[in-house]
Amino acid sequence: MGYDREDLAAGRLNRKMLTPSEGHELDDRNVADMKQIGTIPPFEKEYVRKDGSRVPVLVGGAMFEESRHGVGFALDLTELNRAEAEARENERRYRDALMELAHAHRITTMGQLAASIAHEVNQPITATVTNAEAGLSWLAAQPPNLEQVRQSLDGIVSDGLRAGDVIGRIRALVRKEPQQRAAALDINAVVVEVIALTRIEIARNRVMVRTQLAEALPAIQADRVQLQQVILNLIMNAVEAMSGMGDGERELSISTIRNTSNSVSVSVQDSGPGLDPKTMDRMFDAFFTTKSKGMGMGLAICHSIIETHGGRLWAGPNEPRGATFQFTLPLVSDDTVPPRHAGQMPAI
């Protein structure tokens, strides 16, 4: 604290002098409690050094029985606080790096889906042109059929909104922005959106898709874009695994169910060559890949996203052939402890 024995002997050193003025009231309450119950539970405060600077401390104490004397301690927290601050900064840097990698991975995946994206956007545009041509034909009729013109215009509005929705979903996936929590998210709707986005890629690889989505599933608490990224990655991995097969059946099965443990499960199964037991324990490690051109980040990012949302992601064999990837997510409820804060990303 910067004081010496002379300061102590001269009476220039006391509890209130060491404590900042804003901490005097708390100190007085703690002293009163110690006199009454005999102990002070450890608590954090600050001391003022002789030069006016402050030091964070953890203090506590206890009285001896049948005595006005006691024992107390003060632990300097300066180094501990500095270490915690460094740890928080390192976590922030790691989190930022992980979010950059997740964004880069989404961009790469969307590039692979360029044909699907073009198809999704072209459909409502084509329908808009068709409705416009029909409307012009009805206007040219003698007499003009205004009711049919109105229906054509309604179709143009509907198709325009549909095109806007498609573009909005694509922009959300490629945009780099902070994670957003959704108060209530329909997992089945997210699955259907991603299947629509991958439709061309699935058809190009002659894959048959089967869905078994449980009805009336409760809402989950999740970031829509990050959840889309997880499902998109699992579907694309399954399609790629089956693309190298010969004439065997290529079947992709996607299902959702409600678990008894206040959570929902999403399962993605394929009929591909399956998983190598020798690499199963490294499957979700960052930069580990069995693909010749892979970065080894897709599954690692998916695993991190699901854990951040309070869920779990794992893999196993599919019978009689192929692989199964499954993840769980907690339901939204008033008494559910929220998942880890959106900004906190676990280690991958």
pLDDT at 286: 60
Mean pLDDT value of segment 206-218? 91
pLDDT at 336: 42
Residue of higher predicted confidence among 183 and 159: 159
pTM, full prediction: 0.55
Q: What fold characterizes domain 5-76?
A: Beta-Lactamase (3.30.450)
Q: In this model, does residue 344 exceed pLDDT 50?
A: no
H or E segment and range at residue 161: helix 146-174
What does the alpha-carbon distance between residue 94 and residue 90 come to, in Å, rounded to a whole number?
6
pLDDT at 90: 84
Residue of higher predicted confidence among 291 and 310: 310
Residue of higher predicted confidence among 164 and 57: 57
Q: In this model, does residue 243 exceed pLDDT 90?
A: no
Cβ density class 115-129: b for 16+ within 10 Å, e for less: ebbebbeeebeebbe
Contact 63, 34 (CB under 8 A): yes
Task: State the chain's mean pLDDT as an integer.
Answer: 80
| Nearest residue to 42 via CA among 20, 23, 57 | 57
Residue of higher predicted confidence among 259 and 101: 259
Mean pLDDT value of segment 78-97? 85
For 340-344, the CB contacts below 8 A with 24+ separation are 340/307, 340/308, 340/309, 340/310, 342/178, 342/179, 342/180, 342/181, 342/223, 342/308, 343/95, 343/178, 343/179, 344/91, 344/95, 344/308
pLDDT at 268: 95
Enumerate the domain spans of the chain: 5-76, 113-177, 180-348
CA dihedral 14, 17, 19, 21 (to 10 degrees): 140
Residue of higher predicted confidence among 266 and 67: 266
Let me know if the fold of 5-76 is the same as that of 180-348: no
- Give pLDDT tens digits for 134-155: 888 888 888 888 888 888 898 8
Mean pLDDT value of segment 301-323? 86
CATH class name, domain 180-348: alpha beta
Instruction: Determine what percent of the chain is predicted with pLDDT higher than 70.
Output: 83
**Residue 273: how many other CB atoms lie within 10 Å:** 14
pLDDT at 53: 92
| Nearest residue to 112 via CA among 43, 19, 174 | 174
Find where tokens 């703690």 sit: 30
Residue of higher predicted confidence among 202 and 120: 202
Mean pLDDT value of segment 50-63? 90
* Burial group, residue 212, by CB count within 10 angstroms (0-12, 13-18, 19+): exposed
What does the alpha-carbon distance between residue 97 and residue 312 come to, in Å, rounded to a whole number?
22
CATH 3.40.50 holds for 113-177: no
Q: In this model, does residue 214 exceed pLDDT 50?
A: yes
Q: Residue 323's beta-bridge partner residues?
A: 317
Mean pLDDT value of segment 307-329? 89
**Residue 102: how many other CB atoms lie within 10 Å:** 23
- Give pLDDT tens digits for 9-24: 888 788 788 888 888 8
